[in-house]
Chains A and B, each alone.
Chain A
Amino acid sequence: MTDATFVPAALDPERRAALTRRRYAAEKRFRLYGVGAIGVSIAALVLLLVSVLGGGLPAFTQTFVRAQIYLDPAVLDPSGTRDPDGIRKVLTFAYAPLIKRSLETATAELQPTVPGITPALLAGMVSDGAPAQLRNYVIANPDSIGETVEFEFLANGRIDQYVKGNITRESSAGDARLDPAQLDAADRLLEAGVMELRFNPAFITNPDASENRPEAAGLGVALIGSAYMMLIVLVLSLPIGVAASIYLEEFAAKSWLTDVIEVNISNLAAVPSIVFGILGLAFFINFMNLPMSAPIVGGLVLTLMTLPTIIIATRAALKSVPPSIKEAALGVGASKMQAIFHHVLPLAMPGILTGTIIGLAQALGETAPLLLIGMVAFVKDFPAGLPDGLFDPATALPVQVYNFTQRADPAFVERASGAIIVLLVFLVAMNTVAIVLRQKLERTW
């Protein structure tokens, strides 16, 4: 009976049906827009993943080539005494011609099928880092001087790109750093099994390499630098952030001062990250005299950057705990601190942890604040273990991506994509942990 009063009497059934149709159509359209929006986001994600994976996965494999090298005593130990200091005095520059000379037999074997090949071209197919590899071996094994030893070298970046199919004979025509005879030789060596493409864990473990050796560049120093910084961020920003939010949310009396602090925290969360880098240079390096390029400074700068995020997330989490729980605890005689630490905080934990991990993930991807504190740099030596390593120079994963993209040799493009993959894996892992924690710890009322 009463239902009928909701239908305006003036509307005839036909018009009512039209209105209903329009309402349904509007809803259908909205759903389509929603599906479209999701479709666009998924397409963007797929595009990103395909381009990064397609470009970066080859970085995890590398071309290796085996060669017999005669360790000439006349060059490597001129005094003939096998004195370690004397051997150390022979620099890598003396080892390079040794490789060239040792490859003369291999050149002679290749010449019938590859007429254009010369020892110099063949030696050019080996990484620029090979002399250093030889020298380290000779210093470690002085007795091997005078013998012919088989070594496995990295292939030069251009050859590696050819083996991986990133460049072809056509696209590399006119490349002054690559001779067609080298490509023919690479084909023969691959057939003979002397040269092979295989998984290369050194991309993860090696330090960065200079512009002449894209094939040797790795992410080792960047990974350690990022790990050290994340450790500092976690150890500092979680307790400080949580303590600040508990105090602001539960203890502080509401006054103009807390309002000012609140506004400032929200503002701080929106400050461009480079500003924190400027602060880091001025305060941590110039005033506190902390070393440049060190993860400690990077970690402190990123802590400052992450704190507002954690405080905002923690306060939201604390607010979402129903006040009845705290009131019940207070009602049975718990002190305010007991009520908060025994009842409110555990219930707010999933939100706090999610906020922390999201803050950490954000800090992991930052480059700009590291620019001014000297972490956007070429760092070859690994930092020491904890805690001394915090003061040694290091880079970070996003910095390594940036560094790789700036280099002239096209082979670095692949390594930049590879570094992005590693960075994405870390981000996905962190976000997964956040989701799992939230699901495990979440309570409903």
Chain B
Amino acid sequence: MKTLSSTVAALALAASLPALAAAQSRGQIQIAGSSTVLPYASIAAEAFGENFDFPTPVVASGGSSAGLQQFCAGVGLDTVDIANASRPIRESEIETCAANGVKDIIEVRIGYDGIVFASKTDGPGFTAFTPAQWYQALAAEVVRDGALVPNRARTWAEVDPSLPAAPILAFVPGTKHGTREVFEEKVILQGCEDAGALAAIAALKGGDEDAATDACVKLRTDGASVDIDGDYTETLARIQSDPNGIGVFGLAFYENNTNVLKVATMSGVTPSTGTIASGEYPVSRPLFFYLKKAHIGEVPGLKEFAEFFVSDAVAGPDGPLAAYGLVSDPELAATQARLANEETLDPAS
């Protein structure tokens, strides 16, 4: 009998849940999205909670695309207020958003993230690279004697005699990462162009530039290039177990692990917050968060948090985000002004 009555009680509880939930209004800001932006968002959220009477925002991760998908699911307190992204929002995502009623989106650029190429401190002397060398080492097919042939290069020295005679073993971000896109565009495709392969492949493909681009960014699958679908911690673990490996990291991750990793220059430029901010270092990307204008005023502290996130004290060159590894945006003042005026993305753009 006891069991029966407690069952009844439990069923009553289950039935009353929606009513209870409806009575709850959300106090804290909900953020989802890019795992690259996550550390910055949680540092900003922590400082925001410390300094204001608003609750500390909740920052979930899961990737730029997953975050924007949640963001575009609709307007209302059961949807996220902010989506972090390590790439600009896509046209298709703006359309999905609009179809679900998310019309006024405010785009906020928080700064830049450098992508660096690092190897074990006591590994081979990987100190300087060019995009062309990476392309020649990692492309699935290269042009030789006027034809596309599978890439057979085994050591970096075969690609360029100035490089160490170590086997090619690169740990690159997997395709689900936003970093992969930047890596393909700024390193592999750039290298393809620099090496003159893009034009050669386009000529082979009868002038089809798109097909040539696709062929350029196709990476080897014979074990020389390894996709890492996990985080940078996984890349680091792989490099530590194989000293010949070279990994693609975020600048912030590298700066937190300089005692075990050494970084290589790209086209002669050492990656640092300075060289990335000035645009000298070629492989970097902007980081964003997207904000629903409709939620401003509905969720307490939302605009205050967004403004705090990109304030000089937080996102400026001396702020805690830069201390972690964010490359401060030289045009931060313009971003702050746009946010203050709540300027939204033009749906037609």
Contact surface of A with B, Cβ cutoff 8 Å: 91-93, 128, 132, 135, 167, 171-178, 209-213, 235-236, 239-240, 242-243, 246, 285-286, 288-293, 296, 300, 341, 345, 371, 374-381, 387-388, 391, 393, 405-410
Contact = CB atoms under 8 A, between A and B. Distances in A.
A243 B3 contact: yes
Given A176-B258, A387-B20, A393-B58, 8 more contacts: A174-B262, A177-B255, A209-B46, A210-B46, A243-B3, A286-B78, A381-B55, A407-B233
Given A92-B51, A212-B320, A293-B30, A377 B39 contact: no
A406 B35 contact: yes
Contacts of B46: 209-210, 213, 380
B26 interface: yes
Given A174-B259, A235-B10, A239-B10, A391 B20 contact: yes
Contact of B59 (A243, A288, A341, A378): A378
B17 interface: yes
B324 A211 contact: yes
A408 to B, nearest CB: 4
Chain A, interface SS category: loop
A327 to B, nearest CB: 22
B201 to A, nearest CB: 38
Given A174-B259, A381-B28, A288 B17 contact: yes
A239 B14 CA distance: 12
5 closest cross-chain pairs (CB), A and B? A377-B60, A380-B56, A175-B259, A378-B42, A239-B7
B324 A212 contact: yes
Contact of B21 (A212, A239, A288, A378): A288
B223 interface: no
B2 to A, nearest CB: 9
A379 to B, nearest CB: 5
Nearest to B35: A406
Contact of A405 (B32, B35, B45, B233): B233
Nearest to B55: A381
Contacts of B10: 235-236, 239-240
A404 to B, nearest CB: 10
Given A289-B78, A290-B21, A377 B233 contact: no
A239 B56 contact: no
Contact of B1 (A213, A341, A380): A341
17 contacts: A175-B258, A175-B259, A211-B43, A212-B323, A236-B14, A243-B7, A289-B22, A291-B21, A291-B26, A293-B58, A374-B60, A376-B60, A378-B41, A378-B59, A379-B56, A393-B58, A408-B257
B60 A293 contact: yes
B42 A174 contact: no
B234 to A, nearest CB: 9
Interface residues of B, number: 61
A380 B259 contact: no
Contacts of B59: 377-378
B50 interface: yes
A132 B43 CA distance: 13
A91 B7 CA distance: 52
Nearest to A371: B62
Nearest to A374: B60
B246 interface: no
Interface in B130-181: none
Interface of B: 1, 3-4, 6-7, 9-11, 13-14, 17-18, 20-22, 24, 26, 28, 30, 32, 35, 38-39, 41-43, 45-47, 49-51, 55-56, 58-62, 73, 77-78, 80, 121, 231-233, 252-253, 255-259, 262, 313, 319-320, 323-325
Interface centre among A92, A209, A377 (most CB of B within 10 A): A377
A374 B51 contact: no
Contacts of B60: 292-293, 374-378
Contacts of B11: 240
B233 A289 contact: no
Nearest to A288: B18
A93 B55 CA distance: 19
Nearest to A285: B78
Contacts of A378: 38, 41-42, 45, 58-60
A202 to B, nearest CB: 16
Contact of A212 (B6, B17, B43): B43
Contacts of B78: 285-286, 289-292
A215 to B, nearest CB: 13
Contact of A379 (B47, B58, B257): B58
Nearest to A237: B10
Contacts, number: 150
Nearest to A376: B60
Contacts of A296: 17, 21
B256 A92 contact: no
Contacts of A408: 39, 232-233, 252-253, 256-257, 325
A330 to B, nearest CB: 18
A91 B256 contact: no
A210 B39 contact: yes
B140 to A, nearest CB: 30
A292 B43 CA distance: 21
A374 B256 contact: no
B43 A210 contact: yes
A378 B56 CA distance: 10
A95 to B, nearest CB: 10
Contacts of A376: 60-62
Contacts of B3: 239, 242-243, 246, 341, 345
A292 B67 CA distance: 14
Given A293-B60, A345-B3, A210 B51 contact: no
A381 B30 CA distance: 13
Contacts of B231: 406
B232 A132 contact: no
Contact of B6 (A239, A289, A371, A387): A239
A375 B58 CA distance: 9
A289 B21 contact: yes
A221 to B, nearest CB: 10
Contacts of A171: 259
Nearest to A388: B24
A243 B313 CA distance: 59
Contacts of B313: 91, 93
B110 to A, nearest CB: 15
A91 B304 CA distance: 14
A341 B7 CA distance: 14
Contacts of A290: 17-18, 21, 78
Nearest to B38: A378
Contacts of B325: 408
Given A212-B324, A371-B62, A289 B47 contact: no
B259 A377 contact: no
A13 B194 CA distance: 88
Contacts of B255: 176-177
A277 to B, nearest CB: 11
Contacts of A286: 73, 78
Nearest to A174: B259
